[in-house]
Each structure stands twice: as C-alpha cells, then as structure tokens.
Amino acid sequence: MGSKGGKLNKKDTQEILERLFHIKSELALAYREFNTESSPEMVESNIYKINSLQATYTYLLRQAKAAGCTQDTPIICPVERASP
C-alpha cells in the first residue's frame, strides 16, 4: 500500500477504509462468538482472535489517520458482481 513515508493515493486510502470496515465486522462476529462459547478452549481461541483483530484495526486506524481520513470520510465498498 502506497510508498513508504509518502502520502497515500486515493486507491490506497480506499483500500484501508474497506479493510477497516471488514475488520470491524469480523470483530463484532468474534465478540458474538466469545459471548456464546462455553468451552474454555474456544473462549481462549476467541480471545486470541479478538486481540489479533484489534491490533489490525488499530494499525489500519493509524494508516487512515496518516492518510488524512476523518470520521466523515466515506467508505465506498465494491459491489460484488453476480456471476452469469
């Protein structure tokens, strides 16, 4: 993504925002799974998953901020095309 130390282009910025959107959804799912698990092993697994997703989310937030994104920056997710 982008050049090191340089300003990110619009495509790279959009990619970061899309990844943030997807990571946020994955985090919500991981929390739901965590809250419904009863097996100690699966609870631990979900803790690791949540921690990993949070680290990725934090990294992407920093990247978005460095690219000049704000709360008001729109996220334009690509539309998946149906196969003929």
Q: Is 2 exposed, middle or buried (0-12, 13-18, 19+ CB in 10 A)?
A: middle
pTM: 0.72
Cα end-to-end distance, the chain, whole Å: 32
| 20 touches 61 (CB < 8 A) | yes
Tell me: pLDDT of 60 over 50. Answer: yes
Per residue in 8-31, pLDDT tens?
Answer: 677 788 888 899 999 999 999 999
Tell me: pLDDT of 75 over 90. Answer: no
Per-domain residue ranges for the chain? 10-66
- The span from the CA of 2 to the CA of 8, in Å, is 5
The label of the residue with tokens 């946020």 reads 24
